[in-house]
Structure 1
């Protein structure tokens, strides 16, 4: 089966009436949980993405609080949290929400994860999220860059003090 280009799908959707579009959306939502979550976000939460980010944070905070001290299992749990954060950030399509979630993740990583561990995958999770923040910051509006860069600098200082494998000079803006 051939998958049509997005532009062709857009043209075809424009030719349908609202009842047919409703049926198409419901069929999409029925077959995959991610589609249903995205549709729920677009219908109910899209007008306030930062509020949505706060809801995501409150849901995932419990995962951080129940984080296992074993390096292997905590790494698996942290990967799950990162996967969920990434998914919800994609739903919003906003770099501001994405950086908000990433900064929140890194802050909670420092608070709840075993930062003295020499488990390489655990170290990599933190480093990759910090790299993502470093890449996204320059893409934001100037005012937001200023606000988030000060938070980022504080995070760098805290990470440098608390995490023995971390070198803040690698992540400077």
Structure 2
């Protein structure tokens, strides 16, 4: 996700209605860090959620490619870093479908790494916690959406 400059944000905010600016500012006040990222999402990427999800997935995939599989400690740090990226961006969105898509992608990428997840308790627990989160989010979705994500979730659950 490309972060807009302060000048670009200022120009865009001037074109908004006062009620919209107030709502954005109240939402922004809830977050202590990454305020510019949240504001960038709200102003530029909230309209096209699919493109936002794809850009975050791309960022996550690139981070997974940087995993140092020779040292487990560094691999775990990188995996946690990627999970923080997914959680941060899903928090910005606030949409359950976005969070599910990002966590499913995280689990797929984690499964595809050469790190043996099942042999390391910390990584196994991390993977299983994400699956539990996905399952919880799936229960809150409409039945049609649940059926869309179910095959992918079932495949990851069998791992």
Q: How far apart, CA to CA, are the structure 2 residues paired with 1:101 and 1:117?
A: 22
2:98 corresponding residue in structure 1: 97
Secondary structure (helix, strand or coil) at the match of 1:140 reads: coil
Q: Structure 1 residues 155, 46: closer, same or farther in 2, change over 3 A?
A: same
After TM superposition, what 4+ stretches of structure 1 lie above 6 angstroms from structure 2? none
Q: Is the contact made by 2:117 and 2:124 (CA closer than 8 Å) also made in structure 1?
A: no
1:50-61 mapped onto 2 (5 Å cutoff): 50-61=50-61
Secondary structure of 1:98's partner? helix
C-alpha distance in structure 2 between counterparts of 1:113 and 1:73, whole Å: 13
Contact 1:67 1:113 (8 Å CA) reproduced: no
Does 2:142 align with 1:152? no
* Residues 5-50 of structure 1, C-alpha deviations (whole Å, 9 max, x = no match): xxxxxxxxxxxx94xx59x95xx79xx6511000000000001212
Q: Scaled by the length of structure 2, what TM-score is found? A: 0.77
| Separation in 1, partners of 2:49, 2:93 | 6
Assess if the C-alpha contact under 8 Å between 1:71 and 1:117 holds in 2: no
What residue is the counterpart of 2:14 in the other structure?
none
Q: Pairwise CA RMSD of aligned residues?
A: 2.4
- Per-residue CA deviation, residues 123-161 of structure 1 (Å, 9 max, x unaligned), is 22111111111111111111110010111112223x1xx
How many Å separate the matches in 1 of 2:117 and 2:58?
A: 26
**Offset at residue 101 of structure 1 (A):** 0.4
* Distance in 1 (alpha carbons) for counterparts of 2:48 and 2:141: 18
- Matched-pair contact (CA < 8 Å) for 1:68–1:74: yes
TM-score normalised per structure 1: 0.71
